[in-house]
Amino acid sequence: MKKNVIGAAVAVLAASFATAASAQSSVTLYGLVDAGLTYVNNVATGAPAGQPQKASLHALTSGNLQESRWGLRGSEDLGGGMKAIFTLENGFSVNSGEMGEGNKLFGRQAFVGVSSDVGTVTLGRQYDSVVDYLGPLSAAGTWGGTYFGHVAGNDNLNSNFSIANAIKFQSLNYAGLSFSGLYGFSNQAGGFANNRAYSIGAGYANGPFKLGAAYMQGNGVNSATNSTLGAITDDEFVRTPALPGTRQRTFGAGASYAYDAMTFGAIWTQSRLDNNNLENSSLVYNNYEVNGRYLLTPALSLGAAYTFTTEKASLSDTVKFHQFGIQADYALSKRTDFHIEGVAQIGSGGREGYYPSASIANNNGAFGASSSSRQVLVNTGIRHRF
């Protein structure tokens, strides 16, 4: 009898320890799979100079609203209000199974850090403050997704890239106010300032009203070595080829307001590319966006966005782009939804004899810039979160 009592006591004690350990640490597998059918017109197919060729694209594409991804997220309670945290996140193409972000295993995010009553400090590959604070105020960074990004995704609001070798601080929420700062090291001996990146941002939320502002600078865009931006390619970053050593500075501000079933947003961003190996060469984008989304029913939402973009190159006149986007999204459940959307982009201006090629933003590399100043995209697909 005594042995049975002792055995039962040991079993209860062991179970209590297991429960405590389980409560102190956790690891979560998460992700989403997004695929659909896409039509794009006026796709440049490559031709001799002055003789642009065009064709329509009909394709099965991945990452139409959001890049397909999977990840691991975990935390451990260290006591005293402190937690150890980590995130490992992979982007991939559901069509081919290939990894995204230059074939990196965890090319979207890979960081570890500590959170406390003051804030969170993390180290590794992470998104900067522009993505954190301006993205959620735009259509591209919320319901609109990939193709609603500004001309060629010049300001990264659709999170085309993250910053490598980065240390980041994210504050707590102080009565609606929060802020963050990030620094990406070059990790280059004798070149501390080469290919580095840094960013700051802040936001305020009070009920239905949100405000955000942020700044990001990256040196050495398109550098093949030690780039904190991961040697971003032209298709991912800018419409025109970025010379080695190019510096990008992106900054902006925006606001959104939710009223009943309607949400309105407005945002301005500027992206400046300069300081490259070609003397006095620069490229400046200004993006002005207004967007709105309406919940027609708890399952069906309708959204629309308009963006006016100016592009000024040092070797050319100012070019203007008008982009219109509409979307309908139907939720089959909390995790699965169908969508259909259309995006049209129209360019004008520039020097005589020059047409500004339209370039609808995309993360999947399935198509390039238009062969003319106009481009239309229609997409329908399914997204499942887990």
The CATH number that applies at residue 380 is 2.40.160.10
Residue 276 lies in a domain: yes
Q: Which of 316, 262, 333 is nearest to 293 (CA)?
A: 262
Residue 225 in domain? yes
**16 lies in some domain:** no
- Residue 97, helix vs strand vs coil: coil
Buried (b) or exposed (e) across 44-82, using 16+ Cβ within 10 A? beeeeeeebeeeebebebbbbbbbbbbbeebbeeeeeee
Position 223 scores a pLDDT of 57
Q: What is the rounded distance in angstroms from the CA atom of residue 237 to the CA atom of residue 107?
A: 16
Residue 340 lies in a domain: yes
* Intervals of the chain under pLDDT 50: 1-3, 5-6, 8-22, 49-50, 225-226, 230-241
**234: containing domain:** 27-385
At residue 182, the pLDDT reads 97
SS3 at position 20: helix
Q: Supply the pLDDT for residue 372.
A: 84
C-alpha dihedral, 274 to 279 to 280 to 286, nearest 10°: -20
Cα–Cα distance measured from residue 357 to residue 319, given in angstroms and rounded to the nearest whole number: 10
Q: Total domain count for the chain?
A: 1
In the prediction, which pLDDT does 26 show?
A: 95
For position 99, what pLDDT does the model report? 92
pLDDT at 3: 47
Instruction: Kindly report, residue by residue over 107-131, the tens digit of the pLDDT.
Output: 999 999 999 999 999 999 999 999 9
Tell me the two tokens of residue 378: 């229609």
Within a domain: residue 79?
yes
Helix or strand or coil: residue 117? coil
Is residue 4 one of the residues assigned to a domain? no
E strand segments, 45-137 = 54-62, 69-79, 82-91, 109-115, 119-126
Q: Which residue has the tokens 């280059």?
A: 188
**Exposure b/e, 282-321, CB count within 10 A at least 16 = b:** bbbbbbebebbbeeeeeeebebbbebebbbebeeeeebbb
Q: Report yes or no on 1 lying in a domain.
A: no
| Within-domain flag for 14 | no
